[in-house]
Structure 1
Amino acid sequence: MSAPSASFPGAPWSGWNETARPFRDDATIPGLIAEAARRHPDHPAIVTSDKGVVTHGELDRRSDRLARLLRELGVNRGSAVGLYGERSASALVGLLAVLKCGAFYVPLDPAWPARRVVGLLDRLGVTAVLTDRAHLPAVQEFRWEVPSLRHVLCPDIPEEFSWSAGFRRERVADFFDYVAGSPDPLEAAGFNLRRSERPFDEDDVRGYQDHVARLVRAATSAERPSVLEIGCGSGLIVEALVPHAARYVAVDPSPVSVACSQEAAVRAGGEAEGVVCFAHETAERVSGPFDVVVLASTVQFLPDLDHLTGVLDMLLGLLADDGVIVLADLVDPGLSAFSGLRVPPRFVERLPELLPGVARADVHRRRAEEFTGELAERYDAVVRVAPGRDRAARGREPLWTGHHVGLRPAAPLTDGPTAEDICYTIFTSGSTGAPKGVVVTHRSAVNLIDWMNRTHGIGPSDRILFVTAFSFDLSVYDIFGVLAAGATVRLASAAELAEPDALVDLLEQEPVTIWDSAPAALAMVMPFVRAREPAERDTLRLVLLSGDWIPVPLPDQIRSAFPHAEVVALGGATECTVWSNHYRVGEVDPAWPSIPYGTPMQNARYYVLDGDLRPCALGEEGDLYIAGTCVALGYAAAAGLTAARFLPDPGAPRPGGRMYRTGDRARWLPSGDLEFLGRFDDQVKVRGYRIELGEVQAAFLQCPGVRAASVVAPMGPGGRTLAAFYVPADEPLPKAELLRALRAVLPSYMIPARVVALDELPLTSTGKVDRAALLRRL
């Protein structure tokens, strides 16, 4: 239980910090949700946009199965597990399973650049990532850049293999029959099938053919090797290699391709055995050993990287002891947006870790001047077998699907988290260019849930419309707080969020009782509400707004449209577990500069202090600090930053308490409410996202051709936006080029709306960048 508050006795506002209240401070998130499942096993826990329903009992059982698989994979107390995907029932099951293991989750937004995601996973040493079918291809590409990442789980795929459900044998065979049967020999060889700036000609094709032949001959020491080609097409590579081969086997799913390749072998003065089958079936139809296996312009047509891994594993068993696999014409995701299968070079380099039969795997980059168009951006690889080594794939790290989850019992783990364990780490923008990972325990989250559900009477009859991303900390209460109350989470689909009218339909036609978002998100919907004739709008009873300034007219607009809705303004910081203060918005004075910030919630204390950490008088502006149970442990892997922002709490009821320096300016009003007065550092709110201008500036300085840069956040009619000024090293850079470089490292909401080139940045008399002068230039 929480001890009584003794914060700054004698301070004029000390009485308003008497917020101590007992709560179950030994409880954990999965414990609360398991209790709700026992009380309401048949009540809907999750409802999807297509009317799918997961009951509280089903949620408990499904998360138990997944938790058992995670535990088998080494996910234990203190492990970090990434979540990469959109709002879905599978994702919510996954989050609960992670917590049941005693691990903590790290939400990763698929809209973020891959480099940002990789950096965060690497910094935390994440060992497993949960994803969904739609985002699996992206995870399969970036996972190889993270040394600690051993397992990828995609529970919403029910099949054992990720690619099998979408695999269409006849359709694939028919396509390659059509290509190989083209009267145009270049198209039959797979060239010029898509539009390009310059079509390939015969010289290009011949150059590619010679390149692959040289690569194969250089890779093997056999004078007359036995060759197996997977995906032989019209016989382009057969023609080049068969004269030098002791044996040649040409495999393709297309009978037309196999026939064309055999004819090409005869024309070249040799002979090829033809086998009609798919790559993963080769070992069933062909016997080895082979000195060389060739896949030339074949990998890009395979279903996914898990399929490729299985094919390589199988091919190792067909190789001689000094055999090699040559992968020609691989597509690098870092260089190409090609729609087929892209293979990260790191995947190739890490094959010896993945497959025990691989001794070495080398990436061969191409010299751009030797190739035309997209061929210049591709690369080749040579995989060498490990002589005498058992080539069974004991070390292979498969993709774990719903098939594997379903094999585990639906029984709870005997050991789970404690209240002191980490629950989640959510990343926010960082002033030095590196995002900050806020580390929050179960106890802090349980305190929040206890207060919210008790204060607002949240129970099984409630249904929240879940509209936020997992990487936005509002999602913490939207998921776990609502589920712990035995209530229902209605998942808003991406399509619904993209169409305000669809959200209005949902609010009018479904029993949604709670809305929770940044003010801007609801403000975008309200014009569509007001444009309609009043309908059934009696269900919505609680509107929670936080994360940014609330427009003063908005609460009355909401209550006019939804007559039973109470509007509550919530505040705090990600570093203080979502929310730590509240203000029930009653009558609004149109003359107010803003909606009041409110008062501390249970077991939270707010201090307004001067530069010497002394209490400010009522009405006096000062720096805002937050203390109490809500305060996070600190920043992940950033001890120095943690020490600078999480300070000893002079008003702590017991030794060791800490307070968080928010960076906000505020003052106490005589009513006992806080008034928020803005920031004193480079942090701003843009469309509800907290952004450090320093991180955006650091990204600008990474762009080639940028000598200096500064970023400002002007206030406009629709709120704040970002504007960037830069000094080019030479000539001003095309805006499209700059934005392309920024999108490689920054999320879309951190990309400046305006970019201006200057000869020099204006400076103040102290030598600092004059941001006021920059604002006047807009």
Structure 2
Amino acid sequence: MPGIGEVLQSHPYIDRAAVLGDDNRSLVAYVQPGRADVGAAVEVDHADLTRDYVEEWQSVYDYVYSGGPAGDGRFDVRGWTSSYTGAELSEEDMREWVEQTVSRVRGLGAKRILELGCGTGLLLHRLLDSCDAYFASDVSATAIDRIRESFGGTVPSSVRLAHAGADEPGFVPPGAVDAAMINSVAQYFLDESYLTSVLAAAAERVDRDGLLFIGDIRSAALNRAFSAGVELARADPGATREQIQALAERRCCTGTELLIDPGYFVDLAAAIPRVAHVEIRLKRGQRPTEMTRFRFDAVIHLDSARHDIVAVDDWRQWASLQQTEQLLSGKPETLGFLSVPNARTITDHTAATLLQRLDGPATADEVRQAAADASGVDPEDLWALADKHGYTLQLSWARSTPDGSFDAAFVRAENALVAFPTQPVTARQHTNRIWHVTAENLDLAQLRDYLREQRPSGPVPARFVVLEELPLRADGEVDLAALAAVNWA
């Protein structure tokens, strides 16, 4: 008779399965839904599921902002905490993040902006003086009230506010704006389908040759490195490699926010034919927050791109800053580098690799020491080098590198776009899935019936735990020790 895990894994809705005994000597089945067919395993209507999910986040932010303005009502950063420490991010961290985002959006040259998910107006207040019109909406009515209060109750005539979800831009006429912006909001979307519907509806409000700006995107490509770095930072010095790896796998597999691979935007023209050019930009900033290190911005140029697209004549493998400066001194028109090691992410990526090795360092302290030896280039050092030699620098994550390495292009033209390579380093899904947030929607009764049909005389697990991904060992098999080490239920 085939084993329980083997039978479950043969089910059309299941990719992987494993079975363990719990402390009560009951069987627990851990299942990873099949990516291609998960929709068929969900009994509720997708629109209902989306609405419920949006309403859940609406209630969260209504609560966050319910206490009235925090200090300066135009700089309300409540709720921003570090995943590494659990503490609130400092005012200096948040001011740099806001200022760098504002600078990037200003650089796009849009005079009429639609912002979906505007919160309490962090960007609105700082961009308004360079805009002729600013449309802003948020799913939280409390957030919209806070913006009105920040204007002393009299909202400028150039601003139009709406209490609406990101997929409800109907308060803006078609073609009324130069750019539609979604900043640090996409992680609260349910799935790829909803994300695409939001972007398609936003694009309808954008005039010809306009832009979509999706900012502060959590990268699916870097999820494993980020998860390992967070759990290693939180671990006691003597915690074992196995314990940290189990926690890192749990974080990696059970996050409640949408992670997006850069490849989603690279492929977006298939869903939105107006897409003409896509930029996958690394964040600017000196402060080592998780936003600067692990998130990215996507700039989607619609119709015909406003600026010339430059092809780099010579793509080289990265060597060093010194060699780069020597090459720039020769004043080439373009200079490109592939796979530049990223100082912001390489330590956490190295830690993730060490945690997966069966012969890796034994304790948290040993993993930290070994990972600290990894070295890379701070992107800001390259921007400084470009400024010194009179170049415009563009950095790209379009190839979805799991270690955070990036491609760099130095060009003479100030506003030119660069045709970066886009072939992913490894094949990846466009987004993670957060179906486990509503795991009851997977028809577990059907799985039990399936087991009884295939194993009429065999036991059936007392519990099922649905995970986006089961933790794997270095050899690709399910890591039963990692499953056993953590209470996943």
TM-score by length of 1: 0.32
Greater C-alpha radius of gyration = 1
TM-score by length of 2: 0.49
